[in-house]
Amino acid sequence: MTMTVQDPRYIALIPAAGVGARMAANGPKQYMAIGGKPMLRHTIDAFRASPLITHVYVVVSAGDPHIDQVAPGEGVTVLRCGGASRLESVRNALRQLGEVLDDHDWVLVHDAARPGLTPALIEKLITTVGEHAVGGLLALPVVDTVKRAGGSGQAAAVGPSVAASVARDGLWLAQTPQMFRYRLLGDALAAATDASIITDDASAVEAMGLSPALVEGHPCNLKVTLPADIRIAEMYLAAS
């Protein structure tokens, strides 16, 4: 009998256990309404609309009271194992999925607060990364002049002053999804010990001496962090 290796699956993993402190909202920002529905639901629906995604997993805190009203049942599983940081949430989720996923399955980790993700961007990431030995992530090349801040300005109201201009050649702004094989991602996050240094999944993989591929994303996939970001996200969603 000839044994064949099963084709890898593409799994979406959305950590959504954060509290969104910088948004200054009454509750977790992933549940704020944007364009007529919760921000998290936009993110979930983008993955559900992609024929390349096998299943969607959403990671929330154990006592999350909102997720049952937001996450649809079909094609979506809620994991109530969220941690105090993004790193802990993803790491806990991967441990729970150990009996579900194969080592070579691809996991696409995406921020719940990026509601502008589209099926086209998901397809671009998957097809561009292809069989890359490490994996990859959506990102945007830096186009603005970059300044490094130094000390305070002459007046307290002015804020910091410029210490130097930074060459922008080769600089990219990381987005999500960030896509890695299940085993590789699990090993990278298991080895990470400082959540303040590992700010995304790619940085954990980079700490192992590996180089993920950069796939150009789109400004519509912005992360909603501050109140002013809501209007920008709504503009992109209305145009889609």
DSSP string, the chain: ----PPPPPEEEEEE-----GGGT-SS-GGGSEETTEEHHHHHHHHHHT-TT--EEEEE--TT-SSHHHHS-STTEEEE----SSHHHHHHHHHHHGGGTS-TT-EEEE--TT-TT--HHHHHHHHHHHTT-SSEEEEEEE--S-EEEEEEE-SSTTT-EEEEEEE--TT-EEEEEEEEEEHHHHHHHHHH---TTT--SHHHHHHTTT--PEEEE--GGG----SHHHHHHHHHHHHH-
Mean pLDDT computed over 24-52: 90
Rounded distance between C-alpha atoms, residue 184 and residue 163, angstroms: 39
Model's pTM, two decimal places?
Answer: 0.92
The number of distinct structural domains making up the chain is: 1
**Is residue 1 one of the residues assigned to a domain?**
no
* Host domain of residue 148: 10-239
Q: Where residue 68 falls among pLDDT bands split at 50, 70, 90?
A: very high
Average pLDDT, the chain: 91
**Is residue 203 one of the residues assigned to a domain?**
yes
**Is residue 25 one of the residues assigned to a domain?**
yes
List the CATH number of the domain containing 172. 3.90.550.10
**Is residue 4 one of the residues assigned to a domain?**
no
**Is residue 5 one of the residues assigned to a domain?**
no
Q: Where residue 3 falls among pLDDT bands split at 50, 70, 90?
A: very low
Q: What is the pLDDT of residue 157?
A: 61
**Is residue 17 one of the residues assigned to a domain?**
yes
Q: Where residue 21 falls among pLDDT bands split at 50, 70, 90?
A: very low
**Is residue 3 one of the residues assigned to a domain?**
no
Is the distance from CB of 139 to CB of 175 less than 8 angstroms? yes
Q: Where residue 24 falls among pLDDT bands split at 50, 70, 90?
A: very low
Question: With 80 as the cut, is the pLDDT of residue 27 above it?
Answer: no
Q: What is the pLDDT of residue 44?
A: 97
pLDDT in tens, 147-202: 999 866 555 566 788 999 999 999 999 999 999 999 999 999 999 988 788 999 99
**Is residue 2 one of the residues assigned to a domain?**
no
